[in-house]
Each structure stands twice: as structure tokens, then as C-alpha cells.
Structure 1
Amino acid sequence: MMRRRIAPWLWLLPAGALLIPFFLIPILMTARNSVFTDDPYGNLVPDFTFANYVRVLTDPYYLGVFANTLIAAVVVCLITLIIAYPLSWAMTRAHGRTRALLLWAIYIPIYVSVIMRVFGWMVLIADSGVINSALLGLGLITTPIRMMNEVEGMVIGLVHRYLPLMIVPLLTAMQKVNSEMLLASANLGGGRWFTWRRVVLPISLPGAIAGIQLVFAGVLSDYVIPSLMGTTRFQMLAPAIYYESSINASWALSGAMATVVLVAVAAFLLIANAILRRIAPWAGI
């Protein structure tokens, strides 16, 4: 009996050995720094104050940064979800080489460095890139469409980066829809839309929620794409935290910003799971 109780903890021991020093300790240090104060010389002064949180949550600049990041996260979640649903459904119906090709198309970008992907988008959407050159050559436009270092270009990069994180859990959930379920729905008089709404959508809902959680958390903390493809006119959270910590040497203030992000992500995950358990109790999340 004792062995059965101890065995799961022994299996979790290697993961815990990595999680505690490389994840939990930095988070605790960030939370500790957030209640310290910054002196004019860029040093952390031990203290216990919530002044940094008050500033972050009341200053129009920081509120604007949070709003921009939330808007971008919601937009990217919606776009990736709209793209992922029909693609995931097509992948569940595909077989053989077609299915393998689609899977490789999804997985290969995950293995490629995000920097390389950004460089690829630079080649495509820059003012003198492939897309603008083709449109100019065809006479469809007279001046290049500016997408690089604009909100539109940044959203394109974010969608490309996080689309696999939406597809993979959605595909896993949709694979539970077998042909017998579809045949039963058809035999009972259900059309395609009825089958999709009453069979496919409920079964795929846990995968959609999981994908939304992954994409939302990823966009909220993304630094590379907003820095390389975005614009300072639409400041995002991760670059703003980096600027406060490295340029302004405001470690306490940046710690408060990072802690607010962590709390926001944790709250979003918990709320999403609670909603899922209520509207889809069969999901078991």
C-alpha cells in the first residue's frame, strides 16, 4: 500500500527537480522584487510596498500596454481558432500520404527557430518583399503595402507562430469523432450542420479550450515577434517589461508587471477550465 502511494511521487521527482529551481524560484524572486523599490541608481531597495502595482494598474501608459496585449491575444486566438477548426477536421478525415503531409506542415514550423521564421516573413511582407513586388509588378498597387513593423505584420507573425498550438489539441480532440458517430447521426436524420453542431463541436470543445489557453498565454508573453515585427506605436507587454528592466533598470516595476501577467494568465486558465466544466462536463478538465 505504501509503495502505491509513493510511486507516483517518485515518477514526478525528476520533473520536480527541474520545475522548482528553474521555474518556481525565478517566479518567487520576481514576486519578491515587485514589492521592493527602485532607487535612482538602478538598485533594488528591500521594502514591502504595493506602490509598483498601483502604478502599473493606474498609469495610462501601462494600462494601454496591457490593453494592447489583451487585444492582440484575443485577435490571434480568434484567427487561429477559425483557421484550425476546418484544417483539423480535414486532417482527421485524411489518410495516408495526405495526412502525413498535413502533419508535417503543422509540425515543421515548431522545430524551426522563431528568429528564422521572422526572417522568412521579412522576405515576404517587407516593403520590397515578395508580396509587394508581385503586386507592384501586376499593377494592382502603386505603392508598397506597409506590413512589416506594423500591427498587421505582427499579427501575421503571431498567428503563424501559435497556429500549431491551436491545431494540435484540437486535432487530438477531433480524432475521437469516429465514423460510427457520424453514421448514427445521419441515420437519425441529422444533416451536416446538425452533426457538426451536436456531435463534432461538443467533442472538440475541450481541444479548442486547450488551444485557446496555449495561444492566449503564448501571445501574452511573446517578446520576439512584437520586438522584430511590431511597432512602438502598439506597445506589447513583454517588450515593455524588458525595456523597464534593462533600459530603465526598474527591476521592481518590471517585477510588478511580470507578476500581474502571471496572475492574469493563471486566472484565465482557471476561468476557462471552470467554464468548460460547466458547458462540457464530459471533458473532464
Structure 2
Amino acid sequence: MNRALSQRATPYWLTGPALLVFLGLVVIPLAMTVLLSFYDWGQYKGIVPEFTLKNFHEIFTDSYFFEIFLRTFRIAILVTLATMLIGVPEAYILNRMAPAWRSAFLLVVIGPLLVSVVARTLGWALLLGSTGLVNQGLIGLGLIKEPLAFMFTETGVIVVLVHVLIPFMILAVWASLQRLDPQIENAALSLGASRITIWRRVILPQIVPGMLSGAIIVFSLAASAFASPAIIGGRRLKVAATLAYDEFLNTLNWPLGAAVAVLLLAALVAITVGSNRLIERRYAQVFE
């Protein structure tokens, strides 16, 4: 009897430490942030622990907050589409490489993830500035006469985020390609199918789940990114993450900053859950 109880308790003892860490580092801080978002705040009275919907009412009724959230998700969508357009062909080429070359280029792909986000973004700030290498190179080639505005614009933020997040898309699609038998392409070629038909009818349906998985990761990270929008976008181009930061540390309106963070989190969770259901449905169709 005691031995049976001990065997039943073993999984709980093994998962208990990880559960405590998860509760202490994720669940409790999130719960405190949600609770803080319902508190009142005044310039002279500070944070007042009284239940109120004032913060959410201010966010939903002020066009300033709507514009920032709209910009946040617009940037996230454009970054996701750009990583798809670049990452899917790159993952396919990576999958077709010889093992020796594949290892070398895989290191190149994940290279951006090995560099500090601040150092990486500051490097891009030097490249995209009016006197940076990109503008000076375009002027030297005669393609433009005046420097293009990359700094403090959505274009600059999108460029930097695509560079940072494209490894997630490439790795997700590459993982799907690993399950694809190369002989299927050869069989389609022997039956007279063109390269375009093979890509559309054979390869693409197999990698759609990987594309959707990568899109979820890229979209979530782009929408919640802070360092790149803060450095490249500056104070003139705020997104939800930099807005919450300003409310916490500049205006000291912690409840309003918490409300912004909670709404951003709720939106990302809803998008992620909906996308996961779409991916599961797609997997079911592929493997039926």
C-alpha cells in the first residue's frame, strides 16, 4: 500500500520544483500585474488600492492608445509576412544543402540570436542612420540623392525585427521539411510535374504547419519587442511595450502601465490560442 502511494507521488515530487519556479517567476508576477491594473492612481496620491475600471476605460476611449496598439500589431504582421517571404525559401535551400554546408549556414542563420539584443540593435542604428553604411552605399551607387529615413520610422523597426526574428521562422519551417521524403519530389518529377507544381502541390502543404508555428512565434515576439522599437523607433514611435515602460518609469502611473501590459498579453494569448487550433486542424487534414 505504501509502495503504491509512493509510486503515485513520484511524478508530483519530480514536477514540484519546476511548478514552484513557474508559479514564482510567471504566475504570481502576472497575477500581481493584473491586480495592479485595476488600481487607481493620482499624481499627488500615488497608487490607491481601490478597484476601478478607469485605466481600461481610458485605454479604450482614447485614440492615442488605439493608435499605439494599431501600430504594434501592424509592425508585428509586416514582420511576420517578411520573415515568411525570406525564411521559407531559405529553409528550403538549407534543407537541400550538403550536411557540411548545412551546419555552417545553420550557424549563420542562428547568429543573430547569439548577439546581445542591445548590441545588435545599436549596430543596426549605426547602419541605418543618415550617415550610415546603408544610406551612404545607396548614395554612392546613385540610387538615391538624399538619405532615406530609417531611424525613428516603422520601416527601420521592421528591418531590425526581421533580422532578429527570422531564425525562428527558418528553424520552424526547416523542422517541417525534415519530415518530407526527398524521393517524393523525384517521383513527381518522373511523372512530369513542373517545379512550380511540385512546390504548390507537394512541398507547400507539408510545410504549412511549420510556417504557422513560426508565424505565431515571430508575431508574438515582434508585438512584445521592447529594445529594438525603443532604440530604432525612439520616443516618437511608441509601441505597446515602450508605452508600458514609459507609464511605469516616466509618468509613474503603474496601474495604467499594468493595464497596457495586460491588454497586450490578452491579445497575444487570444491570437496564439486561435492559431494553435488552426495548426492542429491543419495537421489533422495533412495526416488523415
CA distance in 2, matches of 1:167, 1:92: 10
Among 244, 252, 255, the residue aligned to 1:249 = 252
How much does 1:278 deviate? 2.8
Answer whether contact 1:42 1:248 (CA < 8 A) is retained: no
Match of 1:75 in 2: 78
How much does 1:11 deviate? 4.3
Among 136, 140, 144, the residue aligned to 2:147 = 144
Match of 2:65 in 1: 62
Alignment of 1:42-191 (within 5 A): 43-191=46-194
How much does 1:191 deviate? 2.8
Answer whether contact 1:65 1:236 (CA < 8 A) is retained: yes
Answer whether contact 1:202 1:280 (CA < 8 A) is retained: no
Match of 1:30 in 2: 33
State the Cα deviation string for residues 114-154 of structure 1 (Å, max 9, x = none).
11111221222211111222233344433222212222111
TM-score when normalising by structure 2? 0.91
Match of 1:272 in 2: 275
Answer whether contact 2:230 2:238 (CA < 8 A) is retained: no
CA distance in 2, matches of 1:83, 1:229: 22
AA aligned to 1:258 is: A
How much does 1:47 deviate? 1.6
Equivalent pairs, count: 284
CA distance in 2, matches of 1:208, 1:13: 34
Alignment partner of 1:234: what SS?
coil
Q: Where does structure 1 lack aligned partners over 5 or more consecutive residues? A: none
Q: Report the aligned-residue RMSD.
A: 2.1
Match of 1:13 in 2: 16
Answer whether contact 2:36 2:255 (CA < 8 A) is retained: yes
Q: Cα distance 1:3–1:277, how it changes in 2: closer, same or farther (>3 A)?
A: farther
AA aligned to 1:46 is: P
Q: Cα distance 1:8–1:106, how it changes in 2: closer, same or farther (>3 A)?
A: farther
How much does 1:239 deviate? 0.6
Alignment partner of 2:180: what SS?
coil
CA distance in 1, matches of 2:110, 2:102: 12
How much does 1:197 deviate? 2.1
How much does 1:4 deviate? 7.0
CA distance in 1, matches of 2:189, 2:277: 33
Q: Cα distance 1:147–1:16, how it changes in 2: closer, same or farther (>3 A)?
A: same
CA distance in 2, matches of 1:10, 1:193: 54
Q: Cα distance 1:175–1:4, how it changes in 2: closer, same or farther (>3 A)?
A: farther
TM-score when normalising by structure 1? 0.92
How much does 1:3 deviate? 6.9
Identical pairs, percent: 30
Alignment partner of 1:267: what SS?
helix
CA distance in 2, matches of 1:84, 1:3: 49
CA distance in 2, matches of 1:90, 1:131: 27
How much does 1:65 deviate? 0.6
Alignment of 1:182-221 (within 5 A): 182-221=185-224
State the Cα deviation string for residues 177-225 of structure 1 (Å, max 9, x = none).
1212223333444332222223222221221111111111111111111
Shifted more, 262-271 versus 203-212: the winner is 203-212
Is 1:236 matched with 2:239? Answer: yes
Alignment partner of 2:110: what SS?
helix
Q: Cα distance 1:66–1:203, how it changes in 2: closer, same or farther (>3 A)?
A: same
